[in-house]
Amino acid sequence: MLFTYLTLFLTLALRVWAHNATYQNPILPGFHPDPSCIFVPEWNNTYFCASSSFLVFPGIPIHASNDLRRFKLISNALNRPEQLPGLNTTKRATSGIWASTIRYHEGTFYVVTTHVYDDYPKNATNRFDNLIFTTKDPFDENAWSDPVHFGFQGYDTSPFWDDDGTVYITGTFAWEVKPGIQMFSINLTTGAMGPVRNIWNGTGGSAPEGPHIYKKDGWYYLMIAEGGTGSGHMVTIARAKSIHGPYESCPYNPVLTNGGSDYYFQNLGHADLFQDKNKNWWAVALSVRQGPDGSYPMGRETVMTPVTWAEGRWPVFEKVTGKMNGWHLDSGPAVQGGEGSLVDSNFESTFSPGYVLGPGFAHWRFPVVGNYAVSPKGHENSLQLKSSLANLTGHDGRSAEPKGQTFISRRQTHSLFEFSATLNVSELQKEDQEVGVSVFLDQLHHYDLGIVLSTQPATATKRARLVPQFRVRGITTVPAFISPTIAQIPMPETWTGKSLSFGINAKNITHYEMQVAPVGRKKDRIVVGYGNGLGLTWGFTGALLGVYATTNGGEGEFSTYVSDWEYVGKQQVNSLSSLMDRFGYFNP
């Protein structure tokens, strides 16, 4: 034991001496959980990362980087409804695409993942649909294959190629029913599986899951997540001389966690390991940036930390903070190719003729074909939205709406930001017709700022009439289920006939400000209400910012037109102390 800790001390000392590059966490800010990353020398020394997407479509975003500092969205592996029709019928926000692993082998990229029907019973044999997507060119979204399905009754599946060419999959059974990490051989072309066997149960933490196997110095290392995806989340590791085991636990597990600390980055776990061009080791993991009130509406993000892994020894992970010192990182040009943008870039569009909605736009489940059009005839430089019968909650806040929900969005990727979109409201003619902007986590957790037609009762001097109202509504289950109208005010009569800019701003990390103004008259803006970030702190996803159009269950389909969509990131907060010094907090 003394020798083990002496080795650990010397390894730490060497690591401090060798680190000479700084970078900022998170490397993939916003809704990018369950990261898996690889380095592919054959592709111009490029790093590729995959993320989980749950019920967001397109799904399984793929980011690429040349320097581990700037990551560009290059494609989504799940980008066509026919690849996975079941995603559009899946209930419950914790369902959908879980824990995608990306790997590269002999010229082909593989993404192995699980489509989970999380509303099914824990022991249902059809609860998990495991999938293998492949491509020869990850920069071409259309090049991703239809998936090969395989019948493993679990989730978090990850491939490993052994020296003899055998491909193994590790995964996790529904841990509430039968805990432990399982392994089996597989034919990646057909999905044919060998016998399934348990190889390790972890160190005793709940929910042993997220397994990956690596081979180094004659040892097979099995790294997993334990403790659930909340405050007890952690990374543990074991090793064996045979891939089949038995696996011995690392003596200083967990090898990575921020549990029990006051670090800003919490819920740390579900890690993957890779080497850079200089053969140095890194780990990526999911984490949340938890505010002083416990909120983290941006959800589970991707962080990175250097790893020291001496020959024949256990890997040693650096603690995860906002500002990190890591192995030397070469600077160079940003990744070229792909149809997306840098993950933390600002965004602006006027939807000019010929503009294509790129891979950064997101829907909740599949979009309804025909409900979105760029620069339709007579409405050039706009995005047409055809209203849906359902609003963003839908009939029960969980189910897939048969006729869809008209909502298009992009991820929130900055702690502090300003988002706005100009909406044409002249098409509203009937009661409960509504258009607006939303900060959306899922159907049971969102805040909407809309303009809606509502009936003003008759008075002694006026007949009952429809009046446009600005309304902020929210729905959340945190800390208890509520569905309130937060604020509602009549639109000023002097604004009639004017184009209106609807906005959502985060000027601190605990609340969203919902405001509206006539276009070109920002000084006349009205702050209609606020949304509490704690109300968007739930489940597995992260905040989306977008526009919607709905009849709220009524008749009278209509179209509205969106122009001048703008998102400006103001600050990436990665330490509470710096935020307090500069801004403080407020509670409106």
Rg (CA), the chain: 25
- Determine the average pLDDT of the residues in 69-94: 97
pTM, rounded to two decimals: 0.94
Residues 144, 130: Cα–Cα separation, whole Å: 16
CB-CB contact of 7 with 310 (8 Å): yes
- Please choose, from the candidates 57, 148, 169, the residue with its C-alpha nearest in 3D space to the C-alpha of residue 103: 169
Strand partners, 98: 114
Biggest alpha carbon–alpha carbon distance for the chain: 91
The predicted structure's pLDDT at residue 252: 96
Catalytic pick from 34, 276, 301, 432?
34
Q: What is the pLDDT of residue 586?
A: 42
399-413: average pLDDT: 97
What is the arithmetic mean of pLDDT over 279-287? 98
- Which of 498, 357, 488 has the alpha carbon at shortest distance from 422? 498
Residue 239 pairs with which residues in a beta bridge? 221, 248
Tens digits of residue pLDDT in 133-184: 999 999 999 999 999 999 999 999 999 999 999 999 999 998 777 789 999 9
pLDDT of residue 581: 41
Residue spans per domain, the chain: 2-326, 352-582
Contacts of 581 (CB under 8 A, 6+ apart): none
Mean pLDDT confidence for 247-256 = 98
Residue 356 has pLDDT above 60, yes or no: yes
Q: For residues 488, 490, 494 and 497, what is the CA-based torsion angle, rounded to 10 degrees?
A: 90
Can you spell out the DSSP letters for 258-288? -TTS--SEEEEEEEEEEE-TTS-EEEEEEEE
Residue 579 has pLDDT above 70, yes or no: no
Q: Residue 587 — very low, low, confident or very high, per pLDDT cuts 50/70/90?
A: very low
End-to-end CA distance of the chain: 54
- Asked whether the CA dihedral 77, 79, 84, 90 is positive or negative, the reply is positive
Which single residue is written with the structure tokens 């841990």? 175
Catalytic annotation present for 396: no
CA distances from 131 to 159, 186, 321 (A): 11, 12, 34
Average pLDDT (13-29) is 73
* Peptide linkage before 468 cis (omega within 30 of 0): no
Measured from the Cβ of residue 146, the count of other Cβ atoms closer than 10 Å reads 12
Asked if the model's pLDDT at residue 16 lies above 80, the reply is no
How confident is the model at residue 365, as a pLDDT?
98
Q: How far is CA 420 from the centre of its chain?
A: 21
Of residues 285, 169, 290, 191, the one with CA closest to residue 236: 285
Residue among 133, 140, 130 nearest 78 (CA):
133
How far is Cα 477 from Cα 480, in angstroms, rounded to an integer? 5
295 with 319: CB under 8 angstroms?
no
Tokens 């250097």 identify what position? 306
Lowest mean pLDDT among 4-18, 446-460, 479-493: 4-18
Query: What is the per-residue pLDDT for 578?
Result: 59
CA distance 398 to 445: 10
CATH architecture of 352-582: Sandwich (2.60)
Burial of 512 (0-12, 13-18, 19+ CB in 10 A): buried
Find, among 422, 425, 421, 442, the residue nearest to 433 by Cα. 425
209 is catalytic: yes
Q: Write down the pLDDT at residue 346.
A: 97
The Cα angle at residue 471 between residues 469 and 472, in degrees rounded to 5: 170
Looking at every residue in the chain, the average pLDDT score rounds to 93
pLDDT band at 14 (very low <50, low <70, confident <90, very high): very low
**One-letter-per-residue 3-state SS of 537-558:** CCCCCCCEEEEEEECCCCCCCC
Q: How far apart are CA 221 and CA 224, in angstroms?
A: 10
The architecture that CATH gives domain 2-326 is: 5 Propeller (2.115)
Active-site option among 67, 209, 272, 418: 209
Residue 17 banded pLDDT, cuts 50, 70, 90 = very low
- pLDDT tens-digit series, residues 203-236: 999 999 999 999 999 999 999 999 999 999 999 9
Q: Parallel, antiparallel, or unpaired: how do β-strands 372-374 and 511-518 relate?
A: unpaired
Residue 12, token pair as written in the block: 């730490």
Q: What is the torsional sign of CA 145, 151, 152, 154?
A: positive
Tokens for 51, please give them.
């993320």
* 307 in Cβ contact with 521 (< 8 Å): no
Residue 182's CB is within 10 A of a number of other CB atoms, namely 20
State the Cα–Cα distance between residues 509 and 512, nearest whole angstrom: 8
Cα separation, 358 vs 22, whole angstroms: 31
Mean pLDDT of 556-571: 96
Distances (CA, A) of 290 to 299, 445, 455, 500: 9, 18, 42, 34
**According to the model, what pLDDT value does residue 224 have?**
98
Looking at residue 507, what is its pLDDT? 87
Please give the pLDDT value at position 5. Answer: 46
pLDDT-derived band at 315, boundaries 50, 70, 90: very high
- Give the pLDDT of residue 577: 74
The CA-CA-CA angle for residues 564, 569, 570, to 5°, reads 125
Q: Measure the CA–CA gap between 509 and 537, rounded to whole angstroms.
A: 12
Average pLDDT over residues 349-378: 96
Say what the pLDDT of residue 3 is: 44
* 425-471 tens-digit pLDDT: 988 999 999 999 999 999 999 999 999 998 877 666 667 678 999 99
Q: What CA–CA distance (Å, rounded) separates 585 from 511? A: 9
Report the distance separating Cα 133 and Cα 52, nearest Å. Answer: 14
13-20 average pLDDT score = 50
